[in-house]
Amino acid sequence: MKTLAALAAAAIALTGCASNSSPQASSPSTSAEQTKPAQAKAAPLSQAEWVELCGPDGTAPDDPQCTADKSTGDEEPMDDSDFMEKQGEWFVFTTTDDENILEKWDVRIDTVELTEVLPKAKSNEDWDGGEEIPEYVDATPAEGNEFLHVEYTVKNTNKQPLDLPLEPSVQFSDGEVFAPLGEDASDYTWNLNQEHDSPAGDTQNPGTEAQGDFVIEIPQGSEVEALIITDAFMGSSAESVIAIDPTS
């Protein structure tokens, strides 16, 4: 009898323990993902940054900033001119000096024309230093050619007097590039530059503007797409490409 009573008491004790066991803790109403701070969106790339990173010769064309679909599907496809500087608009031209110190200039391509005559652009070989014979005469290109004449403005945005020597070339729609050679590289450009009150290429004080000319002799009928300007300082890789629309 004592044994049966002991077994019954043990069974009751076990039943009570089971019924009084603590329930499992419920999961919090806010998940860990919900409590994480939102990641800040990367700042959009500037035009120059996009070209350097994602362009045809970009350093990382597979970067997510390059491959992300940011369009709605209704836009016209972008061509190369969308990533060029624009004629008539200021842009920053960054270069180096002989001590590899970065310089930043404001540059603007003002006018672009195709012409077969450049008035008073050619030095007159017959000039004798007097007033009876003109010092300069009109310049004309070789047969079948024409001049691309560009006028531009540069502003020294640095904190010291500096000069900005620029070398131009023109790019056609098929990718071919022409640079000034012979008289259009030296004589014509120099003479036209000196007609300005503040010729580009000379030393400029901070905050001052100067105007200059480029002359490039090209085949008639060429489909001009862009002007390329580079820093003439040896070893500098500074370059800007400007979409241009010549008038004739």
Could you tell me if residue 237 is inside a domain? Answer: yes
Higher pLDDT, 26 or 172: 172
- Residue 214 in any domain: the answer is yes
Supply φ then ψ for residue 34, to 5 degrees.
Answer: -70, -25
What pLDDT, in 10s, does the model give residues 109-119?
A: 999 999 999 99
Instruction: Enumerate residues 6+ apart whose C-beta is below 8 A from 187.
Output: 121, 122, 123, 139
Q: Answer yes or no: is 61 within a domain.
A: no
Q: What is the mean pLDDT of the chain?
A: 80
Strands across the sheet containing 177-178: 85-86, 239-243, 224-231, 166-172, 177-178
pLDDT tens figures, 113-166 = 999 999 999 999 999 888 889 999 999 999 999 999 999 999 999 999 999 999
Residue 36 inside a domain? The answer is no
Tell me whether residue 51 is in a domain: no
Number of domains observed in the structure of the chain: 1
Whether residue 138 lies inside any domain: the answer is yes
pLDDT of 56: 62
pLDDT for 45: 66
> Over the stretch 41-50, which tens digit does the pLDDT of each residue have?
566 665 567 7
Residue 159 lies in a domain: yes
In this predicted structure, the answer to whether residue 7 has a pLDDT above a threshold of 50 is no
CATH of the domain at 121: 2.60.40.1240
- Whether residue 49 lies inside any domain: the answer is no
pLDDT for position 58: 74
